[in-house]
Amino acid sequence: MNSAEKQLAILLDFGKVINKTKSLNDVLESIANFARDILQADRCSIFVHDAHKEELWSKVAHGTEPIRISTKKGVAGNAALSKEIQIVVDAYNDYRFNQDVDKKTGYLTHTILAVPLLDNQENTIGVFQALNKKDGIFTNSDAELLLLISNYAASAIENAILYDKLRDTQTKIINKLASAAEFKDQETSKHTKRVGLYSALLAEKYGLNKDDIYKIELAAPMHDAGKIGIADKIMLKPDKLSFEEFEIMKTHSQLGHDLLFDEENEYLKAAALIALEHHEKWDGSGYPHAKKGEEISIFGRIVAIADVFDALISVRPYKEPWSFEKAHALLNENSGTHFDPALITLFNENIERIRTIYQELKD
């Protein structure tokens, strides 16, 4: 193969890796490997820029532990601040070079090529750096190549940052909704947290995967979000509800579902399903759809248990709190009728962990 063919082969390989790998670190690592091969460099690093701290954090660094450097010093810092390509042909005789990193790593830097990673608004989001070209020095055409490759790294980093922000926003919205329902219900945020934690524990013991465990912990506290739509006169009534009042109260399941459902968002989808199903019963006598057994999703079956248990041990406008033991006994009395018996077994097997959650988050 001639060198153009070699480059093409590397490029094709690179495309395959990029499509298959998912996590940001994997993507950046394959980009760094690719850059090292194509530039004939000894090592490459990709730094992410922290503008607040005025630092660069290595996401990938061949041959060393992750490092953190100031943007005020060194070649990479220069690239970050000036947003210009840096080519260094003799590091120890170059004013831009900062020897601290070599001292720490025991590496001996001779030549450096560093390019800034810029976002759409031309902000520096990182630096891509290659060290010690195997043969000779880094050239302008090496710089062109590295800039091209850098576009991949920049968009991978940008996507990851956007994704983190989105997830942050979603979590905030979700927590706001949960506290809105609490306010209406005169329930405490400790209560909603407990329902999330009991649910996550049961989900883990049942063998759901990490994603689903996190999802239920986040979504379970919103099971009563639909109570926002129920009149205070009913919600806060200190006595038993009349038949008609209870019929209205029962609409909180569907109301909550419709309020929370969002086709695009897996957390809100799970929350909507939980709101809809948390008063269904294993024997088919629940509401709103009288679903039976495994027609009720595992999320719905789990939250049904966590909700009733916590409602019993909590104070309500219409009832005093029950003791832990009495609430635990009621779950067992209703195993196989109200509740999925396999889940009640798991609840019993893990009663000490349930008790710990209860004690640590007492009202």
Chain residues that interact with ligand SIN, rule: CB under 6 A: 74-76, 97-98, 101-102, 109, 112, 178, 181-182, 185, 187, 191-192, 195, 212, 221-225, 273, 297-299, 307, 311
Tokens of 184: 């209406």
Residues 321, 307: Cα–Cα separation, whole Å:
14
Contact by Cβ (8 Å): 31, 149: yes
- Subset of residues 224 to 253 that bind Fe ion, contact rule: CB under 5 A: 224
Residues 110, 137: Cα–Cα separation, whole Å:
9
Residue 280 interacting partner from ligand C2E, Fe ion, ligand SIN, none (CB closer than 5 to 8 Å by kind)? none
Q: For strand 41-50 and strand 112-118, is the pairing parallel, antiparallel, or unpaired? A: unpaired
Q: Can residue 241 be called a binding residue for ligand C2E (CB under 6 A)?
A: yes
Q: Can residue 185 be called a binding residue for Fe ion (CB under 5 A)?
A: no
Closer by beta carbon to ligand C2E, 103 or else 240: 240
Q: Can residue 307 be called a binding residue for ligand C2E (CB under 6 A)?
A: yes
Give 349: exposed, middle or buried? Use CB within 10 Å, 0-12, 13-18, 19+.
exposed
Closest to 274 (Cα-Cα) out of 350, 211, 326, 212? 212
Residues 153, 131: Cα–Cα separation, whole Å:
17
Residue 191 interacting partner from ligand SIN, ligand C2E, Fe ion, none (CB closer than 5 to 8 Å by kind)? ligand SIN
Closer by beta carbon to ligand C2E, 24 or else 312: 312
Closest to 202 (Cα-Cα) out of 311, 348, 40? 348
Residues 31, 207: Cα–Cα separation, whole Å:
36
Residue choice 318, 329, 333, 351 for contact with ligand C2E (CB under 6 A) = 318
Closer by beta carbon to ligand C2E, 269 or else 316: 316
Residue choice 64, 316, 321, 350 for contact with ligand C2E (CB under 6 A) = 316
Residue numbers at the binding site for ligand C2E (CB under 6 A): 237, 240-241, 249, 279, 307-308, 311-312, 316-319
